[in-house]
């Protein structure tokens, strides 16, 4: 299945399919069947993208969005991680927070945007809180199940070998729960990334990639919309692949908790 000839053929086919899709789009855009304002050609999109990169506005928008997403994401780790661990270690904490968490989890974060806009106004605070709300629950849930799923034999063995509470926590529980915790971070970031774009659209401030897209709609700047879509996609992809991929390699894979991706 994995002989080089087959792989090369897949690569060619993949490239071909992208090329065909691009040509089909270009043909549709040039056919004049749709208004060019709604369906800009690929060169037009590229030109807008490069122009906004060259004068730095795209970087400023991306920086605002990243600031909001990282702030909210960091908050969700600061709150979610300890809470998840406490819930898993202490029955009392669990029986208090579990019903609350299960009741709040199915509320989509966007439902809170209008409310938060009334309470906290338009701008950074609302956006960061929405991101925080979206990202905290996967963090809590995964940490909680991770700590619970630590093999009890490891705990007993470490206890028998004389580990005190602190060392048990740092040397056994945290590494044991780490695959779940990292999955939690991944999910949390994904949610945060979705939430930030939506929150920026609805609670429009004046900077941010989500706001650019929404603002461009008012002026029919479809090329600007597609250009920021590309930037959003690239940033999301980079985080997923490189940041979390290398985090995984540096921790769980090195500790031998999970083997490198199969196949």
At its nearest, how many Å lie between other proteins and the CB of residue 205? 16
Contact call for residue 23 and other proteins (CB under 8 A): no
Q: Rounded to the nearest whole angstrom, what is the least distance from the CB of residue 160 to other proteins in the complex?
A: 20
**Chain centroid to CA 17: how far?**
27
> Who's near 86: CB < 8 A, 6+ residues apart?
93
Among 8, 17, 36, 56, binds other proteins (CB under 8 A): 17
Location of structure tokens 């990169």: 53
Q: How far is the CB of 188 from other proteins (least distance, A)?
A: 14
Q: In what helix (H) or strand (E) does residue 250 lie, and over which residues does it extend? A: none
Stretch that binds other proteins, among 25-33, 79-87, 231-239, 250-258 (CB under 8 A): 231-239
Applying CB under 8 A, which part among 41-49, 72-80, 89-97, 153-161 lies near other proteins? 89-97
Q: Measuring CA to CA, how many Å separate 140 from each of 86, 99, 116, 144, 145?
A: 10, 13, 22, 6, 9
Give the distance, in angstroms, between the CA of residue 2 and the centroid of all CA atoms in the same chain.
Answer: 32
**Per rule CB under 8 A, is residue 197 in the interface with other proteins?**
yes
Give min distance, CB of 171 to other proteins, in A: 21
Please list, in sequence order, all residues whose beta carbon lies within 8 angstroms of the beta carbon of residue 21, skipping any fewer than 6 positions away.
Answer: none
Q: How far apart are CA 226 and CA 232, in angstroms?
A: 10
Stretch that binds other proteins, among 25-33, 51-59, 212-220, 251-259 (CB under 8 A): 212-220
Q: Which range binds other proteins by CB under 8 A, 54-62, 73-81, 99-107, 170-178?
A: 99-107
User: With binding defined as CB under 8 A, does residue 100 bind other proteins?
Assistant: yes
**Is 189 within 8 Å of 180 (Cβ atoms)?**
no
Q: Is 237 in the site for other proteins (CB under 8 A)?
A: yes
Those residues whose C-beta lies under 8 Å from the C-beta of residue 175, and which sit 6 or more positions away, are: 255, 257
* Pairwise CA distance, residues 164 & 219, whole Å: 64
DSSP assignment string, 184-215: HHHHHHHHHHHHHHHHHHHT--S-SHHHHHHH
125 binds other proteins (CB under 8 A): no
Q: Which stretch binds other proteins (CB under 8 A): 53-61, 73-81, 160-168, 195-203?
A: 195-203
Distance CA 214, CA 208 (A): 10
Q: Is 260 an interacting residue with respect to other proteins (CB under 8 A)?
A: no
**127 near other proteins, rule: CB under 8 A:** no
Which spans of this chain sit near other proteins (rule: CB under 8 A)? 6, 9-10, 13-15, 17-18, 21, 38, 91, 95-97, 99-100, 102-115, 117-119, 145, 148-149, 193-194, 197-198, 201-202, 209-210, 213-214, 216-217, 220, 222, 225-226, 228-229, 232-233, 236-237, 240
């Amino acid at each position: 299945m994995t002989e080089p000839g087959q792989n090369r053929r897949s690569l060619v086919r993949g490239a071909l399919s992208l090329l065909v899709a691009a040509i089909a789009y270009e043909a549709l855009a040039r056919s004049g069947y749709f208004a060019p304002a709604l369906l800009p050609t690929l060169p037009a999109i590229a030109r807008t993208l490069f122009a906004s990169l060259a004068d730095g506005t795209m970087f400023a928008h991306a920086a605002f969005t990243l600031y909001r997403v990282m702030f909210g994401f960091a908050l969700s780790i600061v709150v979610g991680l300890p809470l998840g661990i406490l819930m898993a270690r202490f029955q009392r904490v669990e029986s208090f927070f579990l019903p609350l968490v299960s009741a709040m989890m199915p509320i989509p974060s966007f439902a809170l945007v209008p409310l938060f806009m009334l309470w906290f106004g338009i701008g950074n605070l609302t956006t960061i809180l929405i991101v925080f709300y979206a990202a905290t629950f996967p963090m809590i849930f995964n940490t909680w199940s991770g700590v619970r799923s630590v093999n009890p034999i490891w705990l007993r063995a470490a206890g028998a070998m004389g580990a005190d509470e602190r060392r048990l926590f740092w040397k056994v529980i945290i590494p044991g729960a780490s695959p779940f915790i990292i999955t939690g971070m991944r999910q949390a970031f994904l949610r945060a990334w979705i939430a930030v774009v939506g929150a920026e659209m609805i609670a429009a401030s004046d900077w941010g990639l989500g706001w650019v897209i929404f603002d461009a709609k008012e002026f029919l700047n479809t090329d600007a919309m597609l250009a920021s879509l590309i930037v959003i996609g690239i940033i999301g992809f980079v985080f997923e692949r490189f940041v979390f991929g290398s985090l995984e390699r540096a921790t769980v894979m090195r500790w031998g908790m999970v083997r490198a991706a199969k196949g």
